[in-house]
Structure 1
Amino acid sequence: MSLNNKLSQPAVRAFVAAVNATDRKALWATLTPDASMSDDNMDHNLVEWAEREIFGSHPRMDVEWESDDGLSLRARYHNDIWGDLSSAWTFTLTDGKISHFEAGPG
């Protein structure tokens, strides 16, 4: 059962919704102007990563677990590049927006 609509942090809930809708405007609205990210412990250019991993690959993120503070998730993630995989996501918030997130195997 997906927790997508029940996530406790509004910015994280909006991020997941934007990923699933492949909505550029909504995704960038969840992030601070200087947001950064890493994937598998490697820093990436956020814009390039999002174009490849989200907007160009038909993603679907189904959250299965959320930490007590709402800043860490485990999700089933699917896209055209990697297929289906278990993924872990950790978010850092600044003034209610995501300033950094980490994705990796879950």
Structure 2
Amino acid sequence: MSEVKIVATLTPFPEHIETIRSAARAMVKPTHQEAGCLQYDLHESRAIPDVRDLATQGAVSFMFIERWKSEDDLKKHVAMPYHDDFLAILDGKLENISVQRLTAI
């Protein structure tokens, strides 16, 4: 099987930023311990509505950049109890969620 690359972006409602930041951080350590995890990095980003005005910042998002040994390893990750707990915390607190599979070109 071939490696799987994922980028997951979570944009919380402003009143839930701290809750989502804390929950996202808590995902990193146990995920790194999974046998099939090659990379699981968490980043915080601020939208820049106008590239000509870098000082103006928009919404806060959290991005997971993930690499898995195989599709099966990703499926095991999603089946972990702490992943279910994380999804429960996210419920109703996100303005947007985007999960994308990456393919090199």
TM-score w.r.t. length of structure 1: 0.24
Q: Return the structure number with greater relative CO, CA threshold 8 A, min gap 6.
A: 2
Q: Highest CA radius of gyration, 1 or 2? A: 2
TM-score w.r.t. length of structure 2: 0.24
